Amino acid sequence: MTGPGRWAGNRRRLAELLGSLVEPSTRCALLGFPYYANVGDSAIWLGVRALLAELGAEVVYTADHHDFCPATLARRLPSGTILLTGGGNLGDLWPSHQRMREQVVGAFPGHRIVQLPQSVHFGDPARLERARAVFDAHPDLTLLLRDEPSLRTARRSFRAPSSLAPDCAFALPGLPRLPQPERRILWLRRGDHESAAPGEPRPDGEVHRTDWTAQEGADARWTAAARHVRRRIERASAELCRTAADSAAAELADAQDRHAELQLQRGCRLLGSASAVVTDRLHGHLLSLLLGLPHVVVDDRNGKISGYWQTWDHDRHRSVARRAPDADEALRTAAALLADPATPRPARGR
C-alpha cells in the first residue's frame, strides 16, 4: 500500500471537523453504505471508517439506503450521533439517497445528525422546499459541504450550521500499489445522467473507454470475492433487522468494509491500467491525485468537478492534473503530459 502522505492537510482538517462533532469513544451510526459499483463512494466510506476508528467511536449500526431500518437504528442507538455518509447525492440527482436522508433527519429529532462532506444540487424547487422543511425542523443537524458552490447553496437554503470540508477519500489510510500499465490512456467516462456528454474521443487503439460500472465484472477472481461478500452482507442485514444483535451489526459492518475495499482495489487497478487518465468522474480525479497518476478532467453536467477543483485550488497540481473543455482536447493534453519528461510518474509494482 502507498500512503497519500502529501495530502495530510486535508486529512487533518477532516479529523478535526469530525472530532468536534463526534465525541471520542462514543457510540454512533453510519448510514448510506455504497452497495453499488461507484468506486468513489467506496473510497469515501473507507475514509470515514478510518477517521471514526482513530476517534475510538463505536459504530453500532450501518445500513445502505435500501436496507435502512429506523426501528433497528432506534434499538441500536437510543441516543448519540448519526452520521450520513458523504458524496454527491444531497439533492434531487439521486432521489433514493435523498429520501433516506430526509427520513433519518425527520425521524430522529433527539439525535445529533452530521451530514458528512457532500456536493449539493437541487433542480426542482419543490424538492428543495421539502428538504428545507425537514432539515430546518431538526434541532441538531450539521452539514459539511465539499465545495464552495455547495456551501453557498446550503447556507442560503438551510438553517443548519454548515462548514467546508474536503472529500473523505482524503482520509484513506493507504492505496494499492499500481500495476504496470497495459495501455497509454484510460478514458473513464460517466455512463449516467450526470455526464455532460462532452463527445466521444476519436477512435484510437491506445485509448480505452469504460466506467466504474461497466468494468465491474471483468475479473473472474474479483467477481467471486464480491459475490461471497455480498452474501455476507445480505445475511447479516436480514439478521440485524430481525434481532438488532451486536454480532449481526459487527458482521454487517465488517462485510460492508470488505465490499468497499474490493471496489477500491478494482478502481485503483483500472486507473493504474493506463499511463494517463482522462475522466469526468470526481473520484477518477481525486484517486488519480492520491495515486500520483497523470490525468486530465472534463467537467460533469452540474459542475461538480470544477466546483471542487476551484475550491481546493487544484491548479497547484498541474504537474499531474489538468482540465480540458472536451474529450478530444483532454486526450491531447494527456498525451502532452505523457510526452513531458517533467511529468511525475507514479510508483508501480511488477
Question: Hey, where are the domains in the chain?
Answer: 5-171
Q: Give the range among 115-129, 157-171, 174-188 with minimum mean pLDDT.
A: 174-188
Residue 200 is predicted with a pLDDT of 61
With a cut of 80, say whether residue 218 has pLDDT above it.
no
In the numeric block, the cell 451486536 is attached to 246
With a cut of 90, say whether residue 214 has pLDDT above it.
no
Question: What is the C-alpha to C-alpha distance for residues 22 and 56, in angstroms, rounded to an integer?
Answer: 10
Residue 20 is predicted with a pLDDT of 96
Q: What is the pLDDT of residues 308-334, one digit of tens each?
A: 999 999 999 999 999 999 988 999 999
With a cut of 70, say whether residue 211 has pLDDT above it.
yes
* 247 sits in which H/E element: helix 246-272
Q: What is the pLDDT of residues 39-97, one digit of tens each?
A: 999 999 999 999 999 999 999 999 999 999 999 999 999 999 999 999 999 999 999 99
Give the pLDDT band of residue 172 (cuts 50, 70, 90).
Answer: very high
Residue whose C-alpha is closest to residue 168's, from 41, 307, 327, 33: 41
Identify any residues that bridge with 278 across adjacent strands, giving them in sequence order.
Answer: 187, 296
Residue 333 is predicted with a pLDDT of 96
With a cut of 50, say whether residue 37 has pLDDT above it.
yes
Query: Nearest 5°: phi and psi at 296?
Result: -130, 135
Residue 3 is predicted with a pLDDT of 43
Residue 2 is predicted with a pLDDT of 42
Domain 5-171 fold: Rossmann fold (3.40.50)
Residue 151 is predicted with a pLDDT of 98
Between CA 347 and CA 284, with CA 278 as vertex, the angle to 5 degrees is: 70
Residue 1 is predicted with a pLDDT of 41
Long-range contacts of 149-153 (CB under 8 A, 24+ apart): 149/120, 149/303, 149/307, 149/311, 150/90, 150/118, 150/119, 150/120, 150/121, 150/307, 153/120, 153/122
- Of the chain, the percentage scoring pLDDT greater than 70 comes to 95
Residue 189 is predicted with a pLDDT of 92
Record the pTM.
0.96
Give the pLDDT band of residue 197 (cuts 50, 70, 90).
Answer: low
With a cut of 90, say whether residue 177 has pLDDT above it.
no
With a cut of 90, say whether residue 215 has pLDDT above it.
no
With a cut of 70, say whether residue 199 has pLDDT above it.
no
Residue 201 is predicted with a pLDDT of 56
Question: What is the C-alpha to C-alpha distance for residues 337 and 74, in angstroms, rounded to an integer?
Answer: 53
DSSP state, residue 2: B
Mean model confidence pLDDT for the chain: 93
What would the DSSP string read from start to end of 266-286? HHHHHHHTEEEEEESSHHHHH
For 214-233, what is the mean pLDDT? 88
CB-based burial label for 259 (10 Å; 0-12, 13-18, 19+): buried
For 256-276, what is the mean pLDDT? 96
Residue 193 is predicted with a pLDDT of 84
Report residue 53 as a C-alpha cell.
476508528
